[in-house]
Structure 1
Amino acid sequence: MTEKTLDLLDVGQNARVIQVKGKGPSRRRLLEMGMVPGVGLSVIKRAPMGDPVDFKLKGYNLSLRKQEAQMVVVEVLGGIQ
Structure 2
Amino acid sequence: MTEIITLSRARRGQGGRIHAVEAIEANPADALELERRLLEFGLVEGARVQMIHEGPVGRDPVVLDVEGMRIALRRHEVRGLSLALTGTDAAE
Corresponding residue of 1:38: 46
Task: Note if 1:14 corresponds to 2:7.
Answer: no
Please tell me whether residue 69 in structure 1 is matched to residue 70 in structure 2.
no
Letter in 2 for 1:2: E
Identity of aligned residues (%): 30
Aligned to 2:32: 24
Aligned residues: 80
RMSD (Å), alpha carbons = 1.2
Q: Which amino acid aligns with 2:87?
A: G
Aligned partners of 1:12 and 1:79 also within 8 Å: no
The range that moved more, 21-30 or 71-80, is 71-80
Normalising to structure 2: TM-score of the pair? Answer: 0.80
Q: How many Å apart are 1:58 and its aligned residue?
A: 1.9
Question: Which has the greater radius of gyration?
Answer: 2
Runs of 4+ in 1 over 2 A off after TM superposition: none
Q: Is the 8 A contact 1:43 1:56 kept in 2?
A: yes
2:54 and 2:36 map into 1 onto residues whose CA distance is 24
| Unmatched tracts of structure 1, length 5 or more | none
1:78 CA drift (Å): 3.1
Gap regions ≥5 residues in structure 2 = 24-30
CA distance in 2 between partners of 1:59 and 1:3 (Å): 22
1:53 is aligned to 2:62: yes
One-letter identity of the residue aligned with 1:37: E
Higher fraction of helix = 2
